[in-house]
Amino acid sequence: MTPDLELALSLADAADELTLGHFRSASLAVRTKADATPVSEVDEAVERLLRSRLPAADAIVGEEFGASSASDAKRKWILDPIDATKNYIRGIPVFGTLIALAVDDVLEVGVVSAPALQRRWWAARGQGAFCNGAPIRVSSIAKLEESQLGYDGIADFDKAGLSDKFLALARSCYRTRAFGDFWIHMLVAEGAMDAAVEPEIAPWDVAAIQLIVEEAGGRFTTLRGEATWAGGSAVSTNGLVHEAVLEALA
């Protein structure tokens, strides 16, 4: 285990303690951000905590507080203090903290920690992917009609003008489930699902996810087929059905 992965896992420990400590609290303070999405006081508290424990020389990009002044640094941490905030504030246990490290824009470490699910996934480049300490691997399903497809919700496909294509894709698959957010991609990495699609995402939503999926033997791209965590959209698969999913949504 690399020192950077050890650091990321220790950060996840601290984040889990904070998020679980306030989960389903009747006094949780929530406000609406400029982009019309909700943010809780815990989102901000977790990001402040993570930033305070990262090396001062490293750049940081986080969902709640943007880029640090060291934004040109070679090493860049990408943070999502609570992925699935809407779940968190409603008491739904599908939420997680996402932590990634990129060096020269190449992802080197990824951690996704979902304490209410009692699950944590992680990966370091070239060292494989793990869930709760056990190695994970994508599925070997090679046909869409035998695949299970994960997604978030229909509204984002509506906004992207992809509703008809998405519904056609969904109907061509064996089964679909709208677990949403980080979990659909982690299910792909575990081999429980075969593909997951999100038409609108930000870098902190997917940086950690991309590395974990790839280290589990899968493939991660945008809807245009670009293997990047820079944002826009996300498609993760076992690799075998990837081109079919991209073609269906082209």
Whole-angstrom distance, CA of residue 233 vs CA of residue 152: 12
The last residue of one of the domains, among 135, 157, 173, is 135
| 47 shares its domain with 162 | no
CATH number, domain containing residue 202: 3.40.190.80
Please give the pLDDT value at position 128: 98
pLDDT-derived band at 39 (thresholds 50, 70, 90) equals: confident
Please give the pLDDT value at position 231: 76
Please give the pLDDT value at position 138: 98
| 93 shares its domain with 122 | yes
pTM: 0.95
| 113 shares its domain with 215 | no
Query: Which residues touch 84 (CB under 8 Å, ≥6 apart)?
Result: 92, 94, 95, 96, 180, 181, 182, 183
| 125 shares its domain with 223 | no
Please give the pLDDT value at position 29: 85
Whole-angstrom distance, CA of residue 77 vs CA of residue 56: 11
| 15 shares its domain with 124 | yes
The last residue of one of the domains, among 135, 170, 204, is 135
| 81 shares its domain with 28 | yes
Please give the pLDDT value at position 180: 82
| 130 shares its domain with 149 | no
| 196 shares its domain with 113 | no
Whole-angstrom distance, CA of residue 157 vs CA of residue 75: 34
Check whether 1 has a pLDDT greater than 90: no
Please give the pLDDT value at position 67: 84
Domain that holds residue 203: 144-249
Check whether 33 has a pLDDT greater than 80: no
CATH number, domain containing residue 30: 3.30.540.10
| 82 shares its domain with 194 | no
| 25 shares its domain with 50 | yes
pLDDT-derived band at 72 (thresholds 50, 70, 90) equals: low
Instruction: Work out how many domains the chain is built from and give that number.
Output: 2
| 85 shares its domain with 203 | no
The last residue of one of the domains, among 77, 111, 135, is 135
> Per-residue b/e over 43-65, b at no fewer than 16 CB within 10 Å?
bbbbbeebbeebeeebbbbbbbe
Stretch 144-171: mean pLDDT, rounded?
94
Nearest partner of 193 among 236, 245, 130, judged by Cα: 236
Structure tokens at 59: 């750049």
Give 157 or 26, the one with higher predicted confidence. 157
| Percentage with pLDDT > 70 across the chain | 98
| 122 shares its domain with 64 | yes
Whole-angstrom distance, CA of residue 169 vs CA of residue 247: 10
pLDDT-derived band at 3 (thresholds 50, 70, 90) equals: very high
Please give the pLDDT value at position 26: 75
